[in-house]
Amino acid sequence: MKRELEKVRDDALAAIDDAADEKALDEIRIKFLGRKGALTTLLRGTRQIAPEERPAFGKRANEVKREIGAAIDDKVVRLAEKGDETGERLDVTLPGLKSRRGTLHPITGVMNEMIDVFAGMGYKVAVGPEIELDDYNFTRLNFPIDHPARDMQDTFFVSKDKLLRTHTSPVQIRTMETQKPPFRVISPGKVYRHDRDTSHSPMFFQLEGFVVDKKIGMGDLKGSLTAFAQKIFSADTPVRFRSSFFPFTEPSAEVDIGCIFCKGEGCRMCKQSGWIEILGSGMIHPKVLRNVGIDPNEWIGFAFGMGVERIAILKHGIEPISTFYENDLRFLRQF
């Protein structure tokens, strides 16, 4: 057995020395060290050796295995060096492979632009958890358990009192209960609703903002949102406020802009009205202020919220909303 072991070693080293390329070396590795290779087969026959000689034989077999492996690795290096010398392995005149650079997703780009506009007005960014307590998402925002306004939002419940937040408004509650006014805050982030069609997605992005201070009113709200719309779209964009209803604001208003596609003449995008709704707003309801320990007789506030996708659709003329989430590189590379 010892002579056979040394013969395997000698045959392997001779074959390695004669190998002309890496393919030949791979074949040698399999022939001698593979599962059915010569060395492996020899090791399976150690039971034929006297028990007192087996340790020495096993030690020598391991040495041979390491020697063959090292010889193969050394030959690979020598072949590479030889190839470099002859110029056969690498042609430095060939053009390199150009790697594509990534860009911001259009939703991220539009959200950053929106944040920049409000940051210029002095707003700070605040964030909160996406799995939210019912108390923060509804109750403290003046949505009682039996309030019909809860039906306006189809909710994904995680448990009886926990849910995927339906808006970023809970950040308003969390901020106001832990800090002292005045506030000027925006809260961008993901929200979730059980709703899906050409203009809605079960997961989307929202940006809410709120201000709590003294001596502010609807005029300040209107001025802020008009400035925002004209900064995001164009300086001559007409803006109008329509009376509406939200449980957490009173009075409440929907905000429309003049259709940027037909310039107010009427088209499919504005449903022939000449106007497109972009967000909801209003003065913070006194009950909401009381729910976080703020005296509504001393402080007053306004709030607004909008879907980031809606703004992106209008800025880039994209529809349906699912286009943003299909990860089609042909679409994303346009940005």
- Structure-derived torsion over alpha carbons of residues 242, 288, 138, 147, reported in degrees to the nearest 10: -70
Read off the amino acid at residue 110: V
| Structure confidence at residue 109 (pLDDT) | 92
Query: Do 314 and 233 contact (CB within 8 A), yes or no?
Result: yes
In a domain, 96, yes or no: no
Nearest to 183 by CA among 122, 117, 227: 122
| Structure confidence at residue 320 (pLDDT) | 78
| Structure confidence at residue 45 (pLDDT) | 75
Are residue 143 and residue 291 in the same domain, yes or no? yes
CA distances from 207 to 148, 168, 292, 311 (A): 24, 7, 21, 11
In a domain, 26, yes or no: yes
Are residue 21 and residue 150 in the same domain, yes or no? no
Are residue 129 and residue 41 in the same domain, yes or no? no
Compute the distance between CA of residue 252 and CA of residue 225 in angstroms, rounded to an integer: 14
Got the DSSP string for 56-91? HHHHHHHHHHHHHHHHHHHHHHHHHHHHHHHT-S--
| Structure confidence at residue 191 (pLDDT) | 94
pLDDT in tens, the chain (335 residues): 778 888 888 888 888 888 888 888 888 888 888 888 888 887 777 777 787 887 887 888 888 888 988 888 888 888 877 765 555 556 667 787 777 778 888 999 999 999 999 999 999 999 999 999 999 999 999 988 877 656 656 888 888 889 999 999 999 999 999 999 999 999 999 999 887 766 678 899 999 999 999 999 999 999 999 999 999 999 999 999 999 999 999 999 999 999 988 888 888 888 899 999 999 999 999 999 999 999 999 999 999 999 999 999 898 888 778 888 888 888 888 87
Are residue 67 and residue 137 in the same domain, yes or no? no
Tokens of 208: 């809410």
Q: How many of the other CB atoms lie within 10 Å of CB of 221?
A: 23
Tokens of 42: 């020899």
Query: Do 129 and 171 contact (CB within 8 A), yes or no?
Result: no
Are residue 15 and residue 144 in the same domain, yes or no? no
Are residue 147 and residue 245 in the same domain, yes or no? yes
Instruction: Identify the CATH number of the domain in which residue 234 sits.
Output: 3.30.930.10
Axis-axis angle for helices 308-316, 106-119 (nearest 10): 110
Nearest to 68 by CA among 42, 98, 101, 97: 42
Mention every residue, 6+ apart, whose C-beta is less than 8 A from residue 104. Answer: 112, 335
In a domain, 264, yes or no: yes
In a domain, 101, yes or no: no
Mode of pairing for the β-strands spanning 183-192 and 124-125: parallel
pTM: 0.67
Are residue 119 and residue 254 in the same domain, yes or no? yes
Range of the domain at 306: 106-332
